[in-house]
Every structure is written in C-alpha cells, then in structure tokens.
Amino acid sequence: MSRWAAPESFAEFVRGRHGDLLRFAHVLCGDRYLAEDLVQDALERVGMAWARIERQDNPEGYVRKTITNRYLNQVRVMRRERLTDSVPEGLVLQSEQSEPPDDHLRRLLSELPRQQRAVIVLRFYLDYSEAQIAETLGCSAGTVKSNASRAMAKLRNALTPEVIS
C-alpha cells in the first residue's frame, strides 16, 4: 500500500493558512483542542480531493465550510454535554464575578445553539454576507436572518445590565 503525498500547492496552502484556519475554528467552537481536531480533519478531507478543490474559485472558503460542517456535526453528537473537573461550590456573589469581557462573550457564545453560534461567528468574525453564510451552512437566507436575529437578541439580553427600580 502506497502513502499519499500532498501536492506542493496543498502543502503551501496549509503553511500559509493554517494559523487563520485554527483561529477561525477556535472562535467557532470555543475550545482550542476541538479547534485543532476540526482543522486537522478538514485538511485531511480536503487534501484527498485537493486537485478538484484547487480548481474552484475559493479553496479557503471550501475548507472553512468543511470546518463549519464538521463542527455542527460534532455538536450534534455531543448534545451539549459539558464535563467539568469541579463541583459547583454554590452561589457566587456579584462582586466576586470578575470575568474578563472576552471570556464573558465566549461563554455567552458557547451558550447559543450551534446554528445561531455558527451564524454569528461567520457574520462577525469572517464578515460574511447573509448569502455567503447561507451557502456555507446550506440553508436559506431567511434561516440565516432568523438565526442571527435570535442570537443577537439573546446576546443583547445577556449583555444589557438589569435596571433595578
């Protein structure tokens, strides 16, 4: 059995875009190790069909779509199960919560349903249009709009300080 050798153009693509793909996957899934697995899996799949994919207009878009689809499928399997190494201690007083803003936003993103999170990341991290997001996720522009609207409403509610009367 012979080994597959990556074409030089694929190796060059990986060298040039690997860091950006990892950052995208990390923002998408919120977990460094899962992001590494998603990128590795996507590049493995894309590498096998590189000759065909390279001829398309946007091979990076194809890889990002593969990462997004693998993430959505992975989340379906995991079903929101979260493992933790510690048991909650009890109520935390408001003054004890000193979560940095980025961590707070990441936590809020992680609480969104998978489809809404994907829409938000594609829209605001990659600056995709609604049509590009619909194409990437394989859904209609209306579905993208409704998911974005629901996600933004949840984020606004979570980020807006409650007014005490």
Indicate left, alpha or beta for 113 from its phi (over 0: left) and psi (-120 to 50: alpha).
beta
Residue 17 has pLDDT above 90, yes or no: yes
Please tell me the predicted confidence (pLDDT) of residue 96.
Answer: 47
pLDDT in tens, 123-141: 988 889 999 999 999 999 9
Please tell me the predicted confidence (pLDDT) of residue 7.
Answer: 84
pTM over 0.75: no
Amino acid at 29: C
Residue 127 burial (C-beta neighbours within 10 Å; 0-12, 13-18, 19+)? exposed
Q: What are the boundaries of each domain within the chain? A: 8-79, 100-165
Q: Report residue 40 CA to chain centroid gap.
A: 14
Domain 100-165 has CATH 3.10.450.50: no
| The token pair that represents 154 in the structure block | 């949840």
The answer to whether residues 120 and 148 touch, using CB atoms and an 8 Å cutoff, is yes
Query: In the structure, what pLDDT confidence band is assigned to residue 51 with cuts at 50, 70 and 90?
Result: confident
| The token pair that represents 17 in the structure block | 């875009």
Span 88-115, mean pLDDT? 69
Q: What are the strands, taking DSSP E only, across the chain?
A: none
